[in-house]
Structure 1
Amino acid sequence: MRVLNGLKLSFSIILVAGLVFSGGVFSMLLYAKMTGSDLGILVPRADDQAYAAEMTGDGTHTAGGNRIQRQAEQSVEAAAVRPASALLSAPVIRQNPELPAGCEITSLTMLLQYSGISKNKLDLVPEMKTDPTPIRFDRSGSIQYWGNPNVGFVGDITRKQIGFGIFHAGIYPLLHKYIPSAVDLTGQPYEQLEDQIIKGFPVVVWTTIDFQLPQKWVEWNTTTGTVRTTFSEHAVLLTGFDQSHVFVNDPLSGQKNLKIDKKQFIATWESMGKQALSYTGKAAH
């Protein structure tokens, strides 16, 4: 008897639960009918189906697969647009015999002449900023105090007395004077130098005389802080590149479009502070 009563009780509970559930579903359907709303929990939507297709993971005819394929195609298209090599024909000018320490102003002259400005290196020397701070040595004969190449040219550019050079910040104002669209690319990734070449603009870059990593560094104090550099510092005009090389106009050797190993060049350029100057538009004649 107790078993029979238990079965009746269980059946009653199940019946009540079924009525509650069916009533809830009926109410939801009735609400959707009256309001015109979309009960996404009951009927899969198109975007849900697309999401489900994307999550199948088989990679065949899925939304995710199509999107990945489109992204890959866009990457390939972008790579195809950017050329793997470019080479410009800029004038090559020797710094010697007049300016043995004047690689920077000579490289700048090449850049200006390429832009159409008729200036020679000797015209520009008097216009270049200088830091006339006299050199002072310590007891060991090392340089203790001197000028700052970020301010202006340090030493004697003719090397009749000791001379050093000038860095990007010191010579940039002269470039900007003749080309208002001048840009200082110092510190930027190497790829931006290639972008300049692709656009048709050479770049003055700082490297070393032999295009090798410096073996000896020197330091001295200035009125604006300590300078750390090397006497093998050199500036050239970057004129081109390919997959394995860069091409420069070297004012020391007088070679035009001199080929240098790209990795080697980048390493020396970075060691000299990634210094680079160029421009982006027409020069002011």
Structure 2
Amino acid sequence: MTFKINLICLYTIFRLLNTSQEFDSHSNHKLTNEQLEKVKHEEREIEVSHKELNNQALINAPIITQFPELARGCEVTSLAMLLQFAGVEVDKMTLAEEIPKVPFLNNGIYGNPNEGFVGNIYTFNEPGYAVYHQPIEELAKSYLPDQIINISGSEFDVVKEYLLSGNPVWVIVTSTFNKLPKEAWQTWETESGEINITMKEHSVLLTGFDQEYIYFNDPFKTEKNSKVEIGKFLAGWKQLGQQAITLKISDNLLDIEK
């Protein structure tokens, strides 16, 4: 961190002095907006290069707890964190109301989390399960139609690129943040066919990583940036299909990364 700050500060001073000399006779020592933007762009390039060199990231994203209002609302609460990070003024209760719902069980047929939230999202007094990435993506796009990207099924290297760009990532993972044994799984017959599910399912917002840990905002907690060993977390994430949704990387940052 000290290296990055010192490097950026020294580089910025050099660029400001150099640019001032270049335009001294015309600007009376005042930089134009175009010159300032050029300096900012070059600062950002250094920051991105530094992050990639160190292969780590940590994002300051909102933390929201799902309790006590949403007993099973981890998915919409984590989505609320992502949307609020992007500047959208929406709360978890609004998202809980808007997410599509399907019955938990109807004539021996279970609801499908790929179609909506299964059962009751508000209380443990009635049966319920979860909702997967497709309905979450659709709900997110109703607020940010041109900024949401579903990267479910991608390897973690892709997720890391978005974290390095400064974008937190909504994911679904096992509630143990580790690989679950076979006995933790069950097969449901749904209208769309059989699916394997586990009641040890959870959703969090990824905020960073380093060589040892993955960092995330957990709707079970009130503190930011919980951490779990990378290998354990990825094992649980892969078991649930590597589900992940985030914000598109801005064009300016894509230009820098190229």
Once the 2 structures are TM-superposed, how far is the Cα of residue 83 of structure 1 from its aligned partner?
Answer: 3.8
Alignment of 1:118-267 (within 5 A): 118-132=89-103, 134-135=105-106, 144-159=108-123, 160-180=125-145, 181-215=147-181, 216-267=184-235
Asked if residue 273 in structure 1 is aligned to residue 244 in structure 2, the reply is: no
* Residue among 73, 79, 83 paired with 1:112: 83
Letter paired with 1:109 = A
CA offsets 1:45-67 (integer angstroms, 9 cap, x no match): xxxxxxxxxxxxxxxxxxxxxxx
Q: Specify the SS of the correspondent of 2:105.
A: coil
Letter paired with 1:213 = K
Residues 81 and 231 from structure 1, CA distance in 2 versus in 1: closer, same or farther, beyond 3 angstroms? closer
Runs of 4+ in 1 over 2 A off after TM superposition: 78-83, 132-136
Residues 81 and 90 from structure 1, CA distance in 2 versus in 1: closer, same or farther, beyond 3 angstroms? closer
Alpha carbons 1:129, 1:171 under 8 Å: kept? no
Letter paired with 1:269 = W
CA offsets 1:59-106 (integer angstroms, 9 cap, x no match): xxxxxxxxxxxxxxxxxxx99844411100111111111101010000
Once the 2 structures are TM-superposed, how far is the Cα of residue 164 of structure 1 from its aligned partner?
Answer: 0.4
Q: Specify the SS of the correspondent of 2:76.
A: helix
Letter paired with 1:125 = A
TM-score when scaled to structure 2? 0.73
Alpha carbons 2:51, 2:164 under 8 Å: kept? no
Aligned equivalents of 2:217, 2:51: Cα separation in 1: 28
Alpha carbons 2:173, 2:203 under 8 Å: kept? yes
Q: CA RMSD in A?
A: 1.8
Q: Which residue of 2 aligns with 1:53?
A: none
Aligned equivalents of 2:94, 2:51: Cα separation in 1: 43
Identical positions, percent: 37
Letter paired with 1:164 = Y
Once the 2 structures are TM-superposed, how far is the Cα of residue 209 of structure 1 from its aligned partner?
Answer: 1.5
CA offsets 1:198-231 (integer angstroms, 9 cap, x no match): 1111001111112122231011111111121100
Runs of 5+ consecutive residues of structure 2 not aligned to the other structure:
1-48, 251-258
* Equivalenced residues, count: 198
Once the 2 structures are TM-superposed, how far is the Cα of residue 190 of structure 1 from its aligned partner?
Answer: 0.5
